[in-house]
Structure 1
Amino acid sequence: MRIFVTGGAGYIGSHTLVQLLGAGHDLCVLDNFSNSSLEALRRVRQLTNRDFALVEADIRDTATLTEAMSGFAPDAVVHFAGLKAVGESGEKPLLYYDNNVTGSANLLAAMDTAGCRRIVFSSSATVYGEAQYLPFDEDHPIAPTNPYGRTKAMVEEMIRDWTAATDGASAALLRYFNPVGAHESGRIGEDPRDIPNNLMPFIAQVAVGRRAKLSVFGDDYETRDGTGERDYIHVVDLAAAHSAALEYCARTEGCEAINVGTGRGITVMEMVAAYEEACGHAIAAEIAPRRPGDVASSYAATAKAARLLNWHAERGVDAMCESSWRWQSTNSEGYGEKA
């Protein structure tokens, strides 16, 4: 299959490239490197011993995007490109709507021009907002609480409308929960540009000495140990879900939203303990006040992914922490340090 991958140099994108190249697909990657590294793509080539086309461009650059898409003539698109920091989205909402929503509209128009009718979209569990019940299933009301989540919900609806209006079109909207970990080689992994927004990369940077301590926001939730509980999924399992979703789109028509998680929650302190086991030393942590908007628990219902994609997560928390530590300990400055 010929697959056009937007944002392929990013954390999830780079791991998915390894998965797709290993399965024998031909790829064209489009990325503007605003929050990713060319070094990641160099390492993907080393890991897979395969090459792929690369276009350095922004999805808002309509002319370049359309030219690249038409020139490559893909069978399917995997759409990762997008801004994703919840806090920043509240500070710069118009940037998020422009990049995530307008950029995605440009992508669908370019697909029309190229005659491509299959897309796998990188969505997010943030579209659900506050839990009305748990686990979150795909029928849970959509009520995002921040601009980032609203852009994801808007793009989902846009893809639904495009699919309904396009003969033979198929789409999978993959609602990620909390991707963590790294490739088993330790050669590619998560490399936040600034202060990490998510738990595991922050723990990893404390473990390697880049940060002094972890702030645990709240220890009085109704969970096993009082700290927040989330559904963490190994990024390699997530990459495999994209491969399964592409196969699903190749044999079906229509648009489906599908949760991608493990169906199990892990608390902050359970994650810290598992990471201490992986790295072999204590992680400095202090309890801090709760953050506004944080919830006690969030985890996925995963039956739909099993039914439609014949996919389920295989790796547990130990593998998540071990792979993350392998990546972080051999790349203490991320892709800024060649390993």
Structure 2
Amino acid sequence: MKRLSLLLLFSCAVLSTAIAQELGKKSLSVVSMKSQGLAEAPKQVYINNFKVYYQMIAEAQKTVYGGRQLGGGSYTGNATAKLAVGVEGLQAEDLQELTDKIYADYIESLKSRGFEIRTARDMESIPFYTEHLKLDGPRINQEQVEGSLMVIPTPFSYYVQKVSKKGKEKSGGFMGAVSNQNDFTSAIYHKGLPKISQDLNDAVVIDIAINVPSIYLDPKSKLGTAKVKGGPYLRVQSARATYASGKGNKPGAAYPEAAVEVLLTQPLVINGVFASEEFKAVADKKRTSVPSYAAFFTVEDTSVELTNTIECDAGVYKEKVSNAVKIFLDASLEKFDMGLAGEKAK
């Protein structure tokens, strides 16, 4: 028994070291709200959200403005550079399959900890969501974040306040009216997690959002030149995992009795999927000389617009992205485990 305990401790230490090596010492921000209280929570979890965003296209532009030049006698027009980069090699089905695998692996991790898993798929109703709309996976939404596809696992359902005519989902709640892109900010207060947990007899409510950008763009200007450069840069960025149980009884905004939230604050870079390359769109201002006697003249603007693609193998993309997301989710579960053990997560 002693030997088994030592082996388990050694395995945990190795896992912790591997995660730290991949994520870096300052890659995670951990919010602990009386996390020790998670040890008293029921062995039931309700997964409120599980969303993965995959960036498929990005574009940026930079303009330098012209006008009359110092000393007179000449004018310059505006110069605009615009660059768009898109991903090739992936189909919607690939992203759905990838999301389903990420979700299935996460569910197995929760089950291995002895939890009963519940979602909106297998529950008839939750009082907090009485006036909300239930949406079912598999679901892919291209309107939620510009240039990205939001993918929901196949065996999963979740609630939204409404879906706009353009297809954008609005979750409601505190901050919901202010921003539609709040998935990567703290969910401890503004997604109703404490009230949901209270409705479910203090079950741990889990809310997950993961962002996987593929592209970087860098617009700049210097000495009359507008430039946008960009290329492939695959990473997990701005991911969040929230674990909350119970509802506090003090007045004010609803808050959980115990919670741990893990935010990814530095990108987790994924190499070996896209070839290393860089694209540039460059535009220079054009100068027009104007004689003093001219009653009328025109100034020419310059515009340069380029579109490029980055290609990948779908199988390689799915494997490496799945591994990277698992590193983050395992790290979040490691902090959750601290609370379950009656310790402060940090």
Flag whether TM exceeds 0.5 (same fold): no
Higher relative contact order, chain-length normalized (CA < 8 Å, sep 6+): 2
TM-score by length of 1: 0.31
Larger-Rg structure: 2
